[in-house]
Structure 1
Amino acid sequence: MAQSPPAQTAFDIALSDRAEAGLPSAVRKVFRASQRPGMISFANGAPFLGALPFGKLAEDAQHILADQGLVALQYGSSDGIPQLRRHIVDIMALEGITAHPNQVIVTAGSQQALNMAAHATINPGDVVFAEGPSYAGGMAVFTSHEADIVHVPSDAEGLIPAELERLIAETRAAGKTPKVLYTIPNFQNPGGVNLSSQRRLDVGRICRDNGMLLFEDNPYGLLGFDGQIMPAIQPDFPDITFYFGSFSKMFAPGLRLGWVIAPGSIHEHLINIGETAALNPAVFNQLLMSAYLDDPAWKETLDVYRGIYKAKFQALVETLERVMPAGTTWNQPTGGFYLWVKVPDGIDTEELVYEAIERGIVYVPGTAFYTNGAGHSELRLSFCLPSIDEIRKGAAILGELFTEALASSK
């Protein structure tokens, strides 16, 4: 049955200023436009789920409903069930974070956690600093709270501290309030780079010295191709750091589970904000996640995924080396989901995105990851979901498209 179009009103509905300020997700817009059979998608940062133990998960779900159904399908605690919060503490310990389960607030993915933190701390006109390029979903959160976003240049070691200091000084000179540094320090989305150990200390010090908060978003930290785990920023700066974690990339996004730990003074405020939005995270989902983590085999499954993503990354790069026009460059991620590509002048990745869809592939143009109009000669390729054969085929199509576009621009 065909879906009915949205009902039309007899008058224009005036949006709030906050809603007007919000940006739609360019990533999800491109993703929706590509939903047709046979499409090869480099657009969505969706994990490959094929190695999950679905039989065991089904058994866990059955036991939860049979033994704890009255709890699993009932309202729950606003900050999450205790057993999942204990598991989260153990996971964060792998990155050097020492926390108590009572410090953890479970959320519907780290996206909700980020929105809660922004709601609690950002006033209209406050300045949020973020890597350039940066996570489009994060930028949408900050613009919806009417913040001004300033992109900080990055290089192979991540965000450049000296540039952050310069931009903070310019912000103050313009009479604005520097409020937050937002960073994805591990296998950054979309740049794929790691913030170096020294720079983690440098940016924390800069934030503290300038009376700023630090939002540390870390959905990819356990997804290093060779199992390497970088230390978190939070242990050195717990008084200013909001740490966001997620099960969406290391397990599966369908359960919509993430978390946040925050400076102590803000903890109860975040719980109140979460209650207002959703009352509590889904109890059944939390129980299923906890059952999965009860079995130490989850670490072996994670190791399988690291190998899968490494093989996909290598297939993508090997193909791009053969097919992309001369002058194309890309980063060398050591984990995560993303390859950041820069193409020669004369190729506009935003203009070509729908031509790519017509040819059977979808990518995200670099403009989706900036709020200042930059990114026309850049793009993000997600290698996490397509098969290796699809990656090779899709990259070859991409090479043809960009080679033709460059030739026609001369």
Structure 2
Amino acid sequence: MTQPVAIEQTVHALSDRVRSARPSEVRKVFRAAQRPGIISFANGAPFLDGLPFEKLAEDAHRILAEQGSAALQYGPGDGIPALRSHIVEIMRLEGIDARPEQVIVTAGSQQALDIAARVTVNPGEVVLAEGPSYAGGMAVFTSLEAEIIHVPSDHDGLIPDELEKAIAEVRCSGRVVKGLYTIPNFQNPGGVNLSSERRTRIGEICRDAGLLIFEDNPYGLLGFDGSTLPAIQPQFPDITLYFGSFSKMFAPGLRLGWVLAPDWLHAHLLNTAETGALNPAVFNQLMMSAYLDDPSWKTTLDAYRGIYRAKFEALVETLAECMPEGTQWNQPTGGFYLWITMPQDIDTEKLVYEAIERGVVYVPGTAFFTDGSGRNELRMSFCLPPLEDIRRGARILGELFTEAAAKAQ
């Protein structure tokens, strides 16, 4: 009889990068909070109840009845032409002038970023990122054995002088800086907008230093007042890889995003995309295209902006009533996230499980840094919970942090 392989032996089948990978702190919190009735400020999931589900059902029926064999077949590796044309029109709202053949459709912008990183980043190279930064984005680069170094930000986004300083310090140490990863619009997790002036200055710094810009933009159309800042890409198209997503502006379930890259990178990105997934799901793309064919999608999006503004206002009004003295937070003008800084003596990472016991979950700030920073900070997502849960959950956290502050004195 064949003897079973001992558990200790199976570890040798793992690659070095898998064995050294850090588990996602955000996912750990999500798993700990999987129980009925919990109020979640952790999940950056869009509010979907206002979508036209009856029309979507009609679209699905029509697509399968009229194009079923094509909808369920393999498709182009870069996506169907109809959706790529829609994407070009969406990007035009942010000042991007592109052609459909330059766009590669992917299974969400997360896959697009993973493809881009595989094509451009070598093990041991440095990628600069805002501090704090999106945990999933950092995980892409670190999974490929790159190093993330954070660049400080303020209420206007990443600080250009600090970017120049970071580039110089890394190069002085003999390491290679490959690029800058940035979320310029309603940043996850900080909620800030990179100012127009800084977009230009940061692009100039990266161009002069020979760096790529990884411009991640899932939230650009989610400003509370509907305003949209020009993207970085139009001024610096030869060094910018621009990532878009339908997950926040529509729904994540279809798993559709895209990348627009410099022409000199396009073939390499497409080859890598096809190697990993052959092609994005055709049926999903046809559904998304049908939704965008009807101009009412803009009206639906505008309604969501109002919903998110109301949720944000309910959250900050309640926090102002119940948080301990010395607590600070930013004032986002769109997006999904509020970034909160607690008094120094409050450890949000240690308190997160106590919060879960009381029926509320948030993400501690340490999840958004690779250097251990953020221990007295946290991200609250206001996009998904109902207004009454937002107010109740904020009061529960206010009580928890007030008690912690009193104990620390």
**TM-score normalised by structure 1 residue count:** 0.97
Mapping of 1:55-74 within 5 angstroms? 55-74=54-73
Distance 2:299 2:23 in 1: 37
* Alignment: residue pair count: 404
Does the residue aligned with 1:339 lie in a helix, a strand or coil?
Answer: strand
Does residue 393 of the first structure (1) align with residue 400 of the second (2)? no
- Counterpart of 1:105 in structure 2 is 104
Deviations 1:54-80 (A, max 9, x none): 000000000000000000101111100
Distance 1:138 1:404 in 2: 34
Does the residue aligned with 1:209 lie in a helix, a strand or coil?
Answer: helix
Deviations 1:223-255 (A, max 9, x none): 000001010000000000000000000000010
The one-letter amino acid paired with 1:29 is: K
- Counterpart of 1:11 in structure 2 is 9
- Counterpart of 1:361 in structure 2 is 360
Distance 1:227 1:154 in 2: 24
Mapping of 1:261-340 within 5 angstroms? 261-340=260-339
Does the residue aligned with 1:381 lie in a helix, a strand or coil?
Answer: strand
Distance 1:166 1:50 in 2: 46
Deviations 1:159-195 (A, max 9, x none): 0000000010001100001111000000000000000
- Counterpart of 2:202 in structure 1 is 203
The answer to whether the 8 Å contact 1:21/1:143 transfers is no
Does residue 159 of the first structure (1) align with residue 164 of the second (2)? no
Q: Against the structure 1 CA distance between its residues 180 and 330, is the aligned structure 2 distance closer, same or farther, given a 3 Å change threshold? A: same
Instruction: Give 1:351 deviation, angstroms.
Output: 0.2
Deviations 1:83-134 (A, max 9, x none): 0000000000000000000000000000000000000000011110000000
The one-letter amino acid paired with 1:301 is: T
Distance 1:10 1:241 in 2: 45
Deviations 1:137-162 (A, max 9, x none): 01101100111111000000000000
Query: Which is further off, 13-22 or 370-379?
Result: 13-22
Does residue 35 of the first structure (1) align with residue 37 of the second (2)? no
The one-letter amino acid paired with 1:323 is: C
Instruction: Give 1:20 deviation, angstroms.
Output: 2.8
Mapping of 1:68-217 within 5 angstroms? 68-217=67-216
Structure 1: any 5+ residue segments left out of the alignment?
1-6
Distance 1:24 1:180 in 2: 24
- Counterpart of 1:258 in structure 2 is 257
Distance 1:325 1:247 in 2: 38
Deviations 1:349-402 (A, max 9, x none): 000000000000000000000000000010000000000000000000000000
Distance 1:259 1:102 in 2: 12
The answer to whether the 8 Å contact 1:41/1:386 transfers is yes
Does the residue aligned with 1:334 lie in a helix, a strand or coil?
Answer: coil
The one-letter amino acid paired with 1:228 is: S
- Counterpart of 1:48 in structure 2 is 47
Distance 2:176 2:194 in 1: 25
Instruction: Give 1:23 deviation, angstroms.
Output: 2.8
Distance 1:21 1:79 in 2: 32
Structure 2: any 5+ residue segments left out of the alignment?
none
The answer to whether the 8 Å contact 1:114/1:244 transfers is yes
Instruction: Give 1:18 deviation, angstroms.
Output: 2.1
Instruction: Give 1:8 deviation, angstroms.
Output: 8.5
Two-structure CA RMSD over aligned residues (Å):
1.1
Instruction: Give 1:33 deviation, angstroms.
Output: 1.4
Deviations 1:310-345 (A, max 9, x none): 000000000000000000000000000000000012
Distance 2:7 2:61 in 1: 45
**TM-score normalised by structure 2 residue count:** 0.97
Q: Tell me the percent identity.
A: 73
Distance 1:50 1:285 in 2: 19
